[in-house]
Every structure is written in C-alpha cells, then in structure tokens.
Amino acid sequence: MNSMSYKDKYAHQLAHFPIRDHFRIRGENMTRIEVFTDAAFAFAVTLLVVSIDSLPSNYEEFITALKDIPAFAASFAQLVFFWYGHRVWSQRYGLEDLKTVFISCLLIFCVLVFVFPLKISYATFFHWLSGGELPSPINFKLEQLKLFFSVFHIAFLSMCLILLWLYHHALKNKVELQLDDIELYESKTHYRGWLIMSGTALLALITTLALPANLCPFGGVLYATLGISMSLNSILRDKQKQQLIESIDKNSYTASTQE
C-alpha cells in the first residue's frame, strides 16, 4: 500500500475512528502483521516456560523450580513491555506497508533470537545478585560474564531501536496519516521516550564492556535511571500536551464566536 492510496482510502474515515486519549485509533482492527507479531511474542513466552526441562519430581526439584521464578518473571516482563509498545504503535497508526512489515519482522526476529539468551542473562544476574542462592542454567567463569551481560544489553538496545524506527516511520508518514497537532506531539514524545531507552541501553553496554569482569554486572544498574528519565519525559509530555489541548480549544472557541 503506497502513501497516496493510504491517504485516499482513509481520509474520509478520520472522523469515524475511535479516539483514545486524544489520539485517533487508525488500527482498531488488527492487521495481519500485528497478528503475526502477537503470535511470535506468545511463542517466545512459551519458549521461556518450556525451557524448564520437566515438572519437579521431588521436593528439592520443586524448590529449584520456585527459585527460577525471578528470572522467568523478569524475562516475561521484558517481552510484554516490547509487545505492548508494538501494540500501541499498531493501534494508533494502523500502517501495513512494506516498510512496516519489514520492521515488525525484524522485531520478531530479535525476540526469537534473544529469548533464550535473555532468560540466561536474567538467571545469571539473579544468581550473582543472590550470592549463588538462585540457580543459573550455566556456571560461568568470571571472564565469561561480560559476554552474557553484553548479550542482554544488545537485545534490549536492538528492540528499543526497532520501536524507535517504527515511530520514525510513522512521523515520516504524518501527512498521509493526517496526524493533527496533538497526535503529532504524542508521536514525537513517544519517539523521544524510545530514544531515551536506546541511549540508556547503549550506555549500559559500553559500561559493561569497559568495566573489569568482576564488576561488569553493575553496567545494568544504569537501567534504574530509566525510572527517573522516563518519568520526567512522561510528566513533561502530559504537561505540554494539556497546554496544547487548551490552546487548541481556545482557538476553536475564538473562531466559532467570530463566525
């Protein structure tokens, strides 16, 4: 679907799209690529579950399985985080052009490639954090830790960059999508949010590579700063968005009284 055909097809439907938080939902009906992406994320979660060899057969194995929960929960939460990011993008823009398909397939590729290294990285981190109380599927030597923590940062960075690319693609199609001022502002600030996360992941990767092997896990501490940076981004976005809404309402009222 090229940009002109998209514009011709949806221009007359803009007034009929449902609105959520001042954003018209152009992709209310799931596209084929969104269905494919959802299925891939579901399959990745399944891989996390079946990575446990079998059901516990005794008390010791049961306790070991319970100790595996933190690594599974962290891996699951990260997958859901990126799945939700793609879902929000898909619903807001509803694009299904060739570039959207390519970028979404790239996200699926990263999810399926990194699902096992992701689980191992989290398990290794919790094993290190707990002083060996929580299990790790692989007993790493100290000099090998840097590689596995780097894999985690690369996985996180890759998926952040892909979501960033999707928002860049939507912004490039702002005319065809007929984004209004509020939608354009929302798109730019979400782009900024993924840019912040990409920069944090890149910094964590560089820090991990720069630190000595016994300190390389501390590179991941930088992700804790996302709580501050992303909160500030959300506060600034909501404040300026409200000002923009009030300005648009004021201008609309002034125009209506002058008619």
List pLDDT tens digits, range 152-171.
Answer: 899 899 999 999 999 999 99
In the prediction, which pLDDT does 9 show? 56
**Domain of 153, in residue numbers:** 19-252
In the prediction, which pLDDT does 192 show? 95
Who wins on pLDDT, 147 or 105?
A: 105
If you average pLDDT over residues 63-74, what whole number do you get? 83
b vs e for 108-143, b when ≥16 Cβ sit within 10 Å of the residue's Cβ?
A: bebbeebbeebbbbbbbbbbbeeeeebebeeebeee
pLDDT greater than 50 at residue 4: no
Question: How many domains does the chain contain in total?
Answer: 1
Tell me if 3 is assigned to some domain.
no
Tell me if 13 is assigned to some domain.
no
**What is the band of 80 on the pLDDT scale with cuts at 50, 70, 90?**
very high
In the prediction, which pLDDT does 70 show? 87
What residue spans of the chain are helical by DSSP H?
A: 3-10, 32-50, 59-67, 69-93, 98-129, 145-172, 174-177, 181-210, 226-258
If you average pLDDT over residues 83-104, what whole number do you get? 93
Residue type, 241: K
In the prediction, which pLDDT does 16 show? 75
For 21-41, what is each residue's pLDDT tens digit?
Answer: 889 888 877 778 888 899 999
Tell me if 4 is assigned to some domain.
no
For 214-253, what is each residue's pLDDT tens digit?
Answer: 888 788 889 989 999 999 999 998 888 888 888 876 665 4
Tell me if 5 is assigned to some domain.
no
In the prediction, which pLDDT does 253 show? 45
pTM: 0.84
Tell me if 219 is assigned to some domain.
yes
Q: Closest by alpha carbon to 87, among 130, 36, 53?
A: 36
Tell me if 116 is assigned to some domain.
yes
In the prediction, which pLDDT does 252 show? 59
Give the contacts of 230 (CB within 8 A, at least 6 positions apart).
Answer: 193, 196, 197
Tell me if 65 is assigned to some domain.
yes
d(CA 230, CA 234): 6
